[in-house]
Structure 1
Amino acid sequence: MVRVTVWNENRHEQKSEEVRSVYPNGIHGQIAHFLEEAGYDVKTATLDEPEHGLTEDVLENTDVLVWWGHIAHDEVDDEIVSRVKERVLDGMGLIVLHSGHFSKIFKTLMGTTCDLKWREANEKERIWVVDPTHPIAEGLGEYFEIEREEMYGEHFDIPAPDELLFISWFEGGEVFRSGCTYKRGNGKIFYFRPGHETYPTYYNENVQKVIINAVNWAKKANTTKPTYGNHKPLEPIKL
């Protein structure tokens, strides 16, 4: 069974009655709920737990880490960021959601600012599937719509994705690369755009389907880790 840890800074839920009304069990709780229903072994972790809930033991027993953050990126300890990075390079999958684009871990792994345009205007988002053959897009139509979402617009300052799966169009006219995959070391990374805290986005069946598929795609593979450093010759070397 794939072991998933859903991480959420869990700050909006503490400060905002509006957010609590949408996600009474927290954003992490809602994501964990539908992943559990999909058959995954799911745990949650939050910013205010010791070591942000991401201890060595937790990460060692995580195949895929799902990350949601927004207003407290700077409060994530650099030592924990390094710990997560090493686990990704070692093969743990990482799914970064919505405003997690500005998280320390995503920016560290991308090597860019990961900046973008944004607007909160209750506008429709239409998400086009531009790679329908990809496993993360399994079960989706040509596009799906979210009735109300926060706008993210180009330019999105990320490296060119290894694979571009989704492009969003917004009612105000902007477009955005909203589903991007990367490989870093032995690990797989997926960035997925939707998920503003005041909208019920994580109850949307298509959004859930993407995240469920992404967990299965990003899970740690049972492959042999490459060896590095000084290496003895395979054949005799004639001097």
Structure 2
Amino acid sequence: MTIKAVVWGENIHEQTNEVVRSIYPNGMHNTIAAALNTDAGIEATTATLQEPEHGLSVERLAKTDVLLWWGHKDHGAVSDEIVERVAKRVWEGMGLIVLHSGHFSKPFKRLMGTPCALKWREAGERERLWVINPRHPIAEGLDGNFVLENEEMYGEQFSVPEPLETVFISWFAGGEVFRSGLTWRRGAGNIFYFRPGHETYPTYHDANVHKVLRNSVKWAYNPQGTYSAIHDAPNVPVEEALEPIVERGPKLHQAGEEGYK
């Protein structure tokens, strides 16, 4: 079955910055989608901040297996309604891949529940990404490390929850290190954060980065489909208890009442 991926891009820097436009004349979101579409098992389309509902209608998200998110300049412009819509779909099993400065995006912070802050420096430094979990599916086909000659530095501490897995750690020419490939599970949804991707450098033209992106889409995909029951909070009647019980003491809710949420 083909994995349906949506690459969401803020699509501001490409319109306002000549350097970014020269590197990504069709936009970073289209460059990423094109890299994903080289794999016959992935069908990638795009959505941007400027579209109605940011390109993420209820109907479209319902058909999305994996959402990739890149934002930077205007995280605040993302509608809170869309943020909750994305979080709901992740809980139900949609995969989410958060790229670079998307660490401060509303959906990522909503799902992490932490500040997601870090140190940074924009100096075109060499970044060496070390594969510290070589058997992980996201690292498939990679050597023990790979280099991006120019990147923005991100440094620890990265104020995110303890990840399930750490796939990559980055070293920068200035000396800092960073956990640059991390996974989590939220509800039924797989989440992967991948650090590289500063807009003034050609990171999304790099073959190793393309490999990580394709691998991560396949890893994040949940073949079991939508788990809508994760939102249910049923009031189980006494007579439906698995073992016979006798009701005792006062109670707040009457039989069959939905309860407070």
| TM-score class normalised by the smaller sequence | over 0.9
Unpaired segments ≥5 residues, structure 2: 247-261
Matches within 5 A, 1:1-239: 1-39=2-40, 40-222=42-224, 225=227, 228-231=233-236, 233=240, 235-237=242-244, 239=246
Q: Residues of 1 paired with 2:217 and 2:104: CA distance?
A: 21
Q: Given residue 35 of structure 1, which amino acid in structure 2 is its aligned partner? A: L
Deviations 1:90-119 (A, max 9, x none): 000000000000000101111111010000
Q: Given residue 20 of structure 1, which amino acid in structure 2 is its aligned partner? A: R
Indicate how the Cα distance of structure 1 residues 189 and 72 shifts in structure 2: closer, same or farther if over 3 A, else same: same
Q: Residues of 2 paired with 1:35 and 1:234: CA distance?
A: 49
Deviations 1:125-156 (A, max 9, x none): 00001111110010111111101100000111
Q: Using the TM superposition, give the Cα deviation of residue 21 of structure 1 relative to its aligned residue in structure 2, in angstroms.
A: 0.5
Q: Using the TM superposition, give the Cα deviation of residue 230 of structure 1 relative to its aligned residue in structure 2, in angstroms.
A: 2.6
TM-score (norm 2): 0.89
Q: Using the TM superposition, give the Cα deviation of residue 228 of structure 1 relative to its aligned residue in structure 2, in angstroms.
A: 4.2
TM-score (norm 1): 0.96
Indicate how the Cα distance of structure 1 residues 14 and 223 shifts in structure 2: closer, same or farther if over 3 A, else same: closer
Q: Residues of 1 paired with 2:123 and 2:242: CA distance?
A: 66
Aligned length: 239
Indicate how the Cα distance of structure 1 residues 224 and 110 shifts in structure 2: closer, same or farther if over 3 A, else same: closer
Deviations 1:8-44 (A, max 9, x none): 0100001011101000110001000011111211110
Equivalent position SS for 2:212: helix
Aligned identity (percent) is 59
Q: Given residue 234 of structure 2, which amino acid in structure 1 is its aligned partner? A: G
Q: Is the 8 A contact 2:125 2:173 kept in 1?
A: yes
Equivalent position SS for 1:58: helix
Q: Using the TM superposition, give the Cα deviation of residue 122 of structure 1 relative to its aligned residue in structure 2, in angstroms.
A: 1.1
Q: Residues of 2 paired with 1:97 and 1:23: CA distance?
A: 16
Q: Given residue 100 of structure 1, which amino acid in structure 2 is its aligned partner? A: G
Q: Is the 8 A contact 2:94 2:226 kept in 1?
A: no
Q: Given residue 146 of structure 1, which amino acid in structure 2 is its aligned partner? A: L
Equivalent position SS for 2:199: coil
Q: Residues of 2 paired with 1:15 and 1:27: CA distance?
A: 13
Q: Residues of 2 paired with 1:20 and 1:238: CA distance?
A: 68
Q: Is the 8 A contact 2:92 2:226 kept in 1?
A: no
Indicate how the Cα distance of structure 1 residues 224 and 92 shifts in structure 2: closer, same or farther if over 3 A, else same: closer
Q: Residues of 1 paired with 2:66 and 2:236: CA distance?
A: 32
Q: Residues of 2 paired with 1:147 and 1:235: CA distance?
A: 61
Q: Is the 8 A contact 2:181 2:192 kept in 1?
A: yes
Unpaired segments ≥5 residues, structure 1: none
Runs of 4+ in 1 over 6 A off after TM superposition: none
Equivalent position SS for 1:125: strand
CA RMSD of aligned residues (A): 1.3
